[in-house]
């Protein structure tokens, strides 16, 4: 029985392939919508999965016990910030020190961004090789950065407490800064001119995974220079753009969040019952927030790709109806020599599924090649479900939209079919 069914399926599959080969142009035009739909599914799923994985790695590099604090709402915003948010006072070193003294906190470190000068222009970083750039991220911080997992020291040393107290012009640099300014020399002990002031390099940080694009830009997490907080304030005395990274003690993250929130509400004089005038997030909450956004984008793009598949399906139905009309006499002959309704139904369903399945395979191949190109600019990762879903969706479209033409063909009267000219 199984062998008989397999034989019938194989026979119908060969007939379907012969029909498709006999109408190459028509078949190609029919499956075009399916190809586009599958390509879209592949590209969108690979880009969103790749970005999710990259963001997760990048955020978790700060540590799963990390608490991020900033005066503005952390996350993804569109349009201008509200007046209340713009009027918030900045976080301070004193806030960081108070957080550090909480029993549930292991350490707390402030980071002051001084990439822009007093007039809002980018501060230039110039090397002895003559290269000058304004895209390097300049951060002032304290020696306690060593106790966090936000950065990993690859070479040299961290700056000391005495260097921090003396506002010494020393710095730690990321690997992208090394590649740009010291491509052929050991950077330790060398000097960089930052905003016209010479700084001595004392440490090199491990390269971080890139989220978007190539190295050297504002999105490059390794294109960074850390210096003592006091030295940073010499470059930009009015700097206020500070965020605080607090690290909870092992197993105390939830308590630490409550303690930090209560402390800052008191220090920032937030009235009872009013929302916080600061933002507090953890690695898990930032990742969850990002994934909720990408999930919405993915849903929208899947709807768009489904339109392509639907157009392809309608094309398949139209072509199969034309095919039934053109092959009415052939259907009559097959019925006359013993073919059952189920045989005719199966034949045309297999033709429709083969047509869209082939389109799905072409779409998967092109989509896979395009993901390799996208990987040069964006993080791209093709999840296993994407090609499987793309292929079965394309075959399913063929079966659904091919059902009516197949049913129509199966119900043709053999005598009337043989008379058809």
Confidence of residue 9 (pLDDT cuts 50, 70, 90): low
Residue 109 has pLDDT above 70, yes or no: yes
Tens digit of pLDDT for each residue in 325-371? Answer: 777 787 777 777 777 777 778 878 888 888 888 888 888 898 888 88
Rounded CA separation 375/396 (Å) = 30
Residue scoring higher pLDDT (242 or 381): 242
pLDDT of amino acid 334: 76
Tens digit of pLDDT for each residue in 36-85? Answer: 878 887 888 888 888 777 777 777 666 678 889 998 877 656 667 777 77
Residue 402 has pLDDT above 80, yes or no: yes
Residue scoring higher pLDDT (315 or 195): 195
pLDDT of amino acid 215: 45
Residue 267 has pLDDT above 80, yes or no: yes
- Average pLDDT in the 206-221 region? 60
Q: Is the separation of the CB atoms in 276 and 265 below 8 Å?
A: yes
Tens digit of pLDDT for each residue in 382-396? Answer: 777 778 888 888 888
pLDDT of amino acid 194: 92
pLDDT of amino acid 169: 95
Query: Which phi and psi (to 5°) does residue 332 adopt?
Result: -60, -45
Rounded CA separation 197/230 (Å) = 14
CA distances from 414 to 278, 312, 368 (A): 79, 31, 46
Count CB atoms within 10 A of the CB of residue 183.
11
């Amino acid at each position: 029985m199984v062998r008989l069914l397999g034989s019938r399926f194989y026979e119908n599959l060969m007939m379907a392939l012969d029909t498709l080969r006999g109408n190459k142009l028509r078949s190609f035009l029919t499956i075009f919508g399916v190809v586009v739909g599958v390509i879209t599914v592949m590209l969108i799923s690979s880009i969103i999965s790749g970005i999710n994985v990259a963001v997760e790695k990048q955020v978790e590099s700060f540590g799963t016990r990390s608490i991020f604090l900033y005066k503005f709402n952390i996350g993804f915003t569109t349009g201008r910030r509200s007046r209340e948010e713009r009027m918030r006072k900045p976080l301070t070193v004193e806030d960081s020190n108070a957080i550090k003294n909480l029993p549930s906190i292991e350490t707390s470190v402030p980071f002051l961004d001084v990439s822009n000068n007093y007039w809002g222009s980018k501060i230039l970083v110039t090397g002895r090789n003559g290269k000058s750039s304004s895209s390097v991220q300049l951060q002032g911080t304290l020696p306690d950065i060593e106790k966090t997992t936000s950065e990993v020291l690859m070479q040299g040393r961290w700056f000391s407490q005495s260097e921090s107290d003396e506002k010494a012009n020393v710095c730690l640099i990321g690997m992208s800064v090394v590649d740009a300014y010291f491509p052929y020399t050991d950077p330790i002990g060398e000097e960089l001119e930052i905003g016209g002031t010479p700084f001595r390099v004392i440490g090199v940080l491990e390269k971080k995974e890139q989220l978007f694009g190539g190295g050297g830009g504002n999105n490059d997490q390794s294109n960074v220079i850390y210096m003592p907080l006091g030295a940073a304030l010499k470059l930009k005395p009015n700097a206020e753009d500070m965020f605080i990274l607090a690290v909870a003690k092992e197993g105390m993250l939830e308590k630490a969040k409550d303690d930090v929130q209560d402390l800052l509400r008191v220090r920032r004089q937030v009235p009872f019952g009013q929302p916080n005038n600061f933002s507090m997030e953890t690695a898990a909450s930032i990742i969850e927030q990002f994934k909720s956004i990408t999930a919405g984008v993915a849903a929208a793009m899947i709807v768009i790709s489904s339109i392509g598949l639907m157009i392809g399906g309608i094309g398949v139905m139209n072509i199969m109806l034309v095919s039934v009309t053109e092959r009415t006499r052939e259907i009559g002959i097959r019925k006359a020599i013993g073919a059952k309704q189920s045989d005719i139904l199966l034949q045309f369903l297999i033709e429709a599924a083969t047509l869209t399945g082939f389109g799905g395979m072409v779409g998967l191949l092109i989509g896979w090649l395009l993901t390799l190109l996208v990987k040069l600019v964006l993080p791209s990762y093709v999840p296993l479900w994407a090609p499987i879903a793309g292929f079965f969706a394309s075959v399913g479209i063929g079966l659904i939209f091919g059902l009516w033409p197949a049913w129509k063909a199966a119900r043709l009267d053999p005598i009337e079919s043989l008379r058809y000219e």
